């Protein structure tokens, strides 16, 4: 009953506001009008309460309900006239009944207070909900704005980051084209080494074939005569260069450096750098080179000797088949402006007329040179961190610029090769020793002369005095 009374009063108090609202629905007004008769009765009740209590709150309720009835009297009379025929009598009766209510049975003051409290609580809830709705709407708007701004900032930073570090971009962020490009790039990266190695093999093969043909051409008598003629023509200049190098005049080191010769110890003895152009495998060595050098040196009045070791076949994988064939090639004699010198290198078989540089077989080598019994130098570079491959030698050389115009037969060159420091050295040592010994058993030859072997240290020594 209390709730019904509150609902009637609440609708009545807000009737005037609703009648002046442009967008109020007619259904709502009709509903309110249905309660006019009850409002009339409530008015009488309020009058009774007012006369008893006389407070301002009841006066306000009375005034609002009275205003409702006055603003639409025709409707009230038309539909609710029968209810108000005996208006005065009913009013007096109601008033009397209200005033005579025993407070022990029902406290009118408590009822009024309850109605007031309920009305105010409802209004507070409505206002709170309205305020909450507005705050929520504002919060959502702010969140959306902030989120969008954050997303824009993140995307910009992300794009800048991926532009600088493209390889860190996850696949989910990539377009279809980017994924295809990355796949192609990854494939190229994966197979790049194989591609490079394949390309190198092709280039090296073509170069080796070409140099082989060149070697065959320069290994002819006509070309030897041509070289000798050049040396004779420019011999005065060559004599000056010899003197220049011997006395170590300014610029001498730079001049011999053009062929990769260096004098690290400043003792007048030059050595060819291991990483110089001669280390390119296809360049290798052949008899054509010897023909040129020998012709040039003989034209200058001096001599040079060469010495080839036996060719030895190596089976690295132990399957009984030859994998590669090698040979040691040695020289001693006059080297024009470089003076008295000697050298020994290891080469890999390419053809009957050309051998490849075997830099992969670089190892510990030692070279000592004597001239008429006098030691010119002893060179053992292995272990020197300042040199190529920690001082390992595939081609050990030494040239004493202080000793000029020598004959090959006056020189003794001793070369020691330590196979224990070579890749697959033990296999290489056994193959070389077996080939040398088996050849020697058939009769000493120039290829086998001067070579000795130590199984304890896996070393081979060439003591070369004469051709």
* pLDDT tens digits for range 125-174: 567 656 655 665 665 666 567 666 666 665 656 666 556 656 555 655 55
Q: What is the mean pLDDT of residues 1-22?
A: 46
So what's the pLDDT on residue 151?
60
Give yes or no for residue 354 having a pLDDT over 70: yes
Q: What are phi and psi of 54, to 5 degrees?
A: 65, 30
- 267 or 175, greater pLDDT: 267
Residue given tokens 């394949």 in the structure block: 198
Position 238 confidence tier, pLDDT thresholds 50, 70, 90: confident
Cα torsion at 425, 427, 431, 434 (round to 10°)? 100
Under a CB-based contact definition with an 8 Å cutoff, are residues 403 and 340 in contact? yes
Structure confidence at residue 267 (pLDDT): 86
Determine the pLDDT at residue 237.
Answer: 86
What is the token pair recorded at 373? 């019994």
Q: Is the pLDDT of residue 182 over 90?
A: no
Give the highest mean pLDDT range of 85-99, 159-173, 186-200, 438-452: 438-452
Mean pLDDT of 326-348: 96
Segment 339-367 mean pLDDT: 97
Q: CA-CA distance, 253 to 336, in Å (whole number)?
A: 15
- Do residues 67 and 16 touch, judged by C-beta distance below 8 A? yes
Structure confidence at residue 142 (pLDDT): 64
For residue 15, pLDDT beyond 50:
no
Higher pLDDT, 201 or 54: 201
Pair type for strands 395-400 and 269-272: antiparallel
Say if residue 110's pLDDT is above 60: no
Residue 104 reports pLDDT greater than 70: no
pLDDT of residue 199: 79
Lowest average pLDDT, out of 32-46, 376-390, 423-437, goes to 32-46
For residue range 422-444, list pLDDT tens digits in order. Answer: 999 999 999 999 999 999 999 98
Closest CA to 276 of 342, 368, 336, 357: 357
* Cα-Cα end-to-end distance for the chain: 139
Q: What is the DSSP string of 316-341?
A: SSSSSS--EEEEEEEEEEE-GGG-EE
Instruction: Please state which of the ranges 22-26, 259-263, 320-324, 397-401 shows the lowest mean pLDDT.
Output: 22-26
156 compared with 246, residue with greater pLDDT: 246
Q: At 304, is the pLDDT very low, low, confident or very high (cuts 50, 70, 90)? A: very high
| 415, two tokens | 């070369």
Structure pTM? 0.61
Mean pLDDT throughout 84-94? 45
């Amino acid at each position: 009953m209390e709730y019904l009374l509150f609902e009637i009063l609440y609708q009545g108090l807000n009737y005037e506001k609703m009648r002046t609202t442009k967008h109020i629905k007619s259904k709502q007004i009709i509903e309110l009008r249905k309660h006019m008769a009850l409002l009339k009765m409530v008015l009488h009740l309020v009058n009774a309460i007012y006369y008893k209590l006389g407070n301002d709150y009841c006066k306000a309720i009375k005034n609002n309900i009275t205003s409702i009835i006055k603003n639409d009297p025709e409707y009230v009379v038309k539909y609710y006239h029968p209810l108000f025929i005996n208006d005065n009598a009913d009013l007096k009766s109601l008033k009397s009944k209200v005033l005579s209510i025993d407070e022990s049975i029902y406290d009118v003051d408590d009822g009024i207070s309850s109605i007031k409290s309920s009305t105010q609580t409802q209004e507070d809830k409505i206002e709170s909900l309205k305020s909450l709705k507005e705050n929520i709407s504002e919060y959502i708007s702010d969140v959306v704005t902030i989120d969008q701004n954050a997303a824009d900032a993140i995307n910009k930073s992300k794009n800048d980051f991926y532009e600088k570090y493209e390889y860190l971009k996850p696949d989910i962020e990539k377009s279809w084209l980017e994924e295809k490009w990355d796949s192609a790039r990854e494939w190229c990266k994966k197979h790049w080494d194989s591609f490079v190695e394949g390309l190198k093999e092709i280039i090296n093969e073509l170069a080796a074939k070409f140099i082989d043909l060149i070697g065959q051409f320069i290994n002819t008598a006509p070309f030897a005569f041509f070289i000798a003629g050049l040396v004779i023509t420019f011999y005065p200049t060559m004599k000056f260069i010899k003197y220049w190098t011997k006395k170590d005049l300014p610029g001498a080191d730079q001049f011999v450096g053009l062929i990769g010769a260096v004098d690290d110890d400043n003792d007048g003895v030059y050595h060819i750098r291991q990483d110089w152009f001669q280390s390119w495998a296809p360049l290798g060595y052949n008899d054509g080179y010897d023909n040129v050098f020998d012709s040039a040196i003989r034209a200058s009045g001096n001599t040079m000797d060469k010495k080839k070791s036996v060719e030895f076949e190596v089976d690295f994988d132990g399957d009984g088949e030859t994998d590669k064939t090698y040979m040691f090639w040695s020289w001693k004699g006059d080297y024009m402006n470089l003076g008295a010198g000697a050298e020994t290198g290891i080469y890999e078989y390419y053809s009957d007329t050309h051998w490849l540089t075997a830099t992969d077989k670089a190892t510990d080598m030692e070279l000592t040179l004597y001239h008429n019994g006098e030691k010119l130098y002893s060179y053992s570079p292995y272990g020197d961190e300042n040199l190529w491959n920690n001082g390992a030698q595939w081609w050990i050389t030494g040239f004493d610029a202080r000793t000029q115009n020598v004959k090959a037969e006056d020189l003794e060159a001793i070369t020691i090769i330590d196979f224990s420091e070579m890749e697959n050295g033990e296999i290489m040592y056994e193959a070389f020793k077996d080939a040398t010994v088996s050849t020697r058993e058939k009769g000493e030859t120039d290829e086998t002369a001067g070579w000795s072997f130590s199984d304890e240290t896996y070393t081979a020594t060439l003591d070369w005095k004469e051709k």
